[in-house]
Amino acid sequence: SKNTMTVHWLSVRGGARHLRKAAERGQKLEIAIALGVDPLIIMAAAAPIPVDLSEWLFAGLYGGSGVPLAKCKTVDLEVPADSEFVLEGTITPGEMLPDGPFGDHMGYYGGVEDSPLIRFHCMTHRKDPIYLTTFSGRPPKEEAMMAIALNRIYTPILRQQVSEIVDFFLPMEALSYKAAIISIDKAYPGQARRAALAFWSALPQFTYTKFVIVVDKEINIRDPRQVVWAISSKVDPSRDVFILPNTPFDTLDFASEKIGLGGRMGIDATTKIPPETEHEWGEVLESDADVAAMVDRRWAEYGLDDVDLTAVDPNKFGYDVRSSR
């Protein structure tokens, strides 16, 4: 209705935790929804930062200045002072209504799920406000573009939590969080599995990452050709693939056998060392540095100066890059 709406919260996110605490206290949960805010605040809200770190503080630190806040009119909350609209209301724990179906980032219409009901009793806005919105869907969409920026934000946070991780990447095509590629400076056997397990527990959002691929630090994790080579040449499925069944999962993921429960797969695509393997591992083929330098110097002499070595033609690798939509 014009005064109510449902809200779909992931169980690991802050809003759901606040609602559980309000239910334990037997109180209503005060809610304020700010529409039309700085994109940095949206990224801070979406980032899986540690529970004890304020999103306001995170946004201020990352943006280089504090976030101006203003008190709400009817609830004891603060919102960004430059919000276009602010909706104020409450949730009564246990009051639910069917939510959905809506188009979702997974590329499907989601299911219908009972979700908390917000009852609004106040709306404020700027003079001549602008209503900012977006839509979800199969990548690439606007949310996937923001995820690229979030990936850069996550990296130093993750490296603080799991020190052996050199770098990590969340491919857009994997919905920006369903698959993660991690590179490590491997020093001991079993380290890749340890890194994958540590990744899943490092930050709440990574609970819903289905696939974690661990590679050596020499692999460019943002180059799918190198990652696929590592998987193909370094992985024995019977030894290097492990699955965690029946773990908490995203209710928007239809691939799960049971909604809310799903499996996760770890793939160790690192070079194996004893006792992971009982035989000697071959040396990686590499160009002789002197020969490579000579070829670079004589590139134009060979009549190849019009060849751009920095650009990749996907068709030369067998990919069909024509749009499917």
33 DSSP β-pair partners: 87
Cis previous bond, 237, omega within 30: no
Q: Residues 52, 76, 82, 104: which is the catalytic one? A: 104
Q: How many CB atoms lie within 10 A of CB 296?
A: 9
Has 104 been annotated as catalytic?
yes
Cis previous bond, 189, omega within 30: no
90 DSSP β-pair partners: 30, 119
**φ, ψ at 164 (rounded to 5°):** -80, -10
Tokens of 161: 């939590």
Q: Strand 4-6's sheet: what is its strand order?
A: 4-6, 113-125, 85-99, 29-35
Supply the residues annotated as catalytic. 104
